[in-house]
Amino acid sequence: MAANASVCLSFDFDAISVWLGSLNATSPSAISRGEFGAVATERLLEMLARWEIKSTWFIPGHTIDTYPDLVRRVADAGHEIGHHNYCHENPISLSLDDEKRVLDRGTGTQRPKPHRMKSAMKFRRRAFPEVCQRQAQDRS
Ligand SMILES: [Zn+2]
Taking a C-beta distance cutoff of 8 angstroms, is the pair 35, 15 a contact? yes
Query: How do residues 74-112 score in pLDDT, each as one tens digit?
Result: 999 999 888 788 898 887 778 888 888 888 888 776 555
Q: How far is the CA of 1 from the centre of ligand 1 (A)?
A: 39
Q: Which residue segment(s) compose the domain that 49 sits in? A: 11-139
Return the CATH number at 127. Answer: 3.20.20.370
The tally of domains found in the chain comes to: 1
Q: How far is the CA of 81 from the centre of ligand 1 (A)?
A: 13
Q: How far is the CA of 86 from the centre of ligand 1 (A)?
A: 11
Taking a C-beta distance cutoff of 8 angstroms, is the pair 9, 59 a contact? no
The predicted structure's pLDDT at residue 113: 55
SS3 call for 58: strand
Rounded distance between C-alpha atoms, residue 76 and residue 135, angstroms: 22
Q: How far is the CA of 42 from the centre of ligand 1 (A)?
A: 17
Q: Return mean pLDDT, the chain.
A: 83
The predicted structure's pLDDT at residue 134: 77
Residues 6+ apart with CB under 8 A from 86: 17, 21, 60, 61, 62, 102, 103, 105, 106, 109
Residue 4 in any domain: the answer is: no
Residue 2 in any domain: the answer is: no
